[in-house]
Amino acid sequence: MTHVLRNSFLACLLIAVAGAHAQTPDSLIVQGKNQIAEALNKWDATEMQKARAHFERLLAGKKHEALVHYYVGYCDYRLTIFYQQAKNQEMMKQHLEAASTHLEAAVKSNNKFAEAYALLSSCYGQKISMAPMLGMTLGPKSGMTMQLALQLAPNNPRVILLDAIGTYYKPAMFGGDKDKALAGFKRAAELFDKEKSADPLQPDWGHAEAYAWIGVAYLDKKDAAAARTAFERALAIAPEYGWVKYQLYPRTADSKM
């Protein structure tokens, strides 16, 4: 009986070791992307922190270095938004700084990484929103970084989406224009509708989010019917998308806008 138990234990140990070795850097990136998607669906900062820690551990392996830095930075970008909503300025500032650092590392490792440039530009813009005096230095830097992203990938839906978000929030004197932003959200949504990702390691977020932003823009225009249509499209793409399901879509219910 003892031999049977020992052999059973060894078999389980070998299976566990084999399973650990089966987790290649590529499969671990896909796993981390799934964690991010789950955190966004739940709109859960704790889950996003776990996804961030997962990718930060992958940095030690040095494989796909630019991509892993991007995903750490992307997690920090999302955490910045979570803490902004929670009105936690200290944590917001901490994650925004970390996002910028990792995205700068991503473009240093791969100077053709359009998506990292676009996200980095967005982070610079958020820094300005927190400390307007930084606009003198970071404003031009943000603009040039986004222009580089657009030059590298003019039809990338995430680049178009991030550019439109920036346009939505900029003051008019610095190029902000909500109608232009809405057009950008719609163009991003059209590009997402056609997007077919060939590489599972690359970023593929944003499809439902583009429709969420279309809805936000229509809410701003007091057009609840158009906003509702956009939010319903977002939920058709991602039924458990927490931002839309629990925060945005309810704003259109029985609205008299």
Q: Compute φ and ψ for 246, nearest 5 degrees.
A: -105, -20
Quick one: pLDDT at residue 168? 96
* Total domain count, the chain: 1
Residue 43 belongs to some domain of the structure: yes
Residue 141 belongs to some domain of the structure: yes
What is the DSSP-derived secondary structure letter of residue 251? G
Q: Does residue 47 sit in helix, strand or coil?
A: helix
What is the pLDDT confidence band of residue 22, given thresholds at 50, 70 and 90? low
pLDDT of residue 20 exceeding 70, the answer is no
Quick one: pLDDT at residue 147? 97
Residues 215-220, mean pLDDT to the nearest whole number: 98
Give the rounded percent of residues in the chain with a pLDDT score beyond 70: 90
At 18, list the tokens.
Answer: 């084999």
Quick one: pLDDT at residue 254? 58
The CATH number for 73's domain is 1.25.40.10
pLDDT of residue 4 exceeding 80, the answer is no
* Contact in structure between 215 and 248 (CB atoms under 8 Å): yes
Quick one: pLDDT at residue 136? 86
Q: What span, in angstroms and rounded, lies between the C-alpha atoms of 91 and 196?
A: 35
| Range with lowest mean pLDDT among 92-101, 105-114, 116-125, 248-257 | 248-257
Residues 16-41, mean pLDDT to the nearest whole number: 80
Beta-strand ranges (E) seen in the chain are none
Residue 140 belongs to some domain of the structure: yes
Residue 196 belongs to some domain of the structure: no
Residues 46-60, mean pLDDT to the nearest whole number: 96
Q: Closest by alpha carbon to 185, among 240, 234, 120?
A: 234
Residue 62 belongs to some domain of the structure: yes
pLDDT of residue 11 exceeding 70, the answer is no
Q: Around 213, how many Cα atoms within 13 Å sit in the side-chain half-sphere?
A: 28
Residue 215 belongs to some domain of the structure: no
Quick one: pLDDT at residue 253? 81
Q: What pLDDT, in 10s, does the model give residues 229-250?
A: 999 999 999 999 999 999 999 9
Quick one: pLDDT at residue 255? 55
Q: What span, in angstroms and rounded, lies between the C-alpha atoms of 133 and 69?
A: 28
pLDDT of residue 190 exceeding 70, the answer is yes
Residue 199 belongs to some domain of the structure: no
Residue 136 belongs to some domain of the structure: yes
Quick one: pLDDT at residue 17? 38
Q: Does residue 239 sit in helix, strand or coil?
A: coil
Give the rounded percent of residues in the chain with a pLDDT score beyond 90: 78
What is the pLDDT confidence band of residue 172, given thresholds at 50, 70 and 90? confident
At 16, list the tokens.
Answer: 């566990």
pLDDT of residue 201 exceeding 90, the answer is yes
C-alpha distance from residue 59 to each of 50, 78, 144, 199 (Å): 15, 19, 28, 20
Residues 204-225, mean pLDDT to the nearest whole number: 97
Q: Does residue 45 sit in helix, strand or coil?
A: helix
Q: What span, in angstroms and rounded, lies between the C-alpha atoms of 229 and 11?
A: 55
Task: Give the domain range for residue 91.
Answer: 29-154
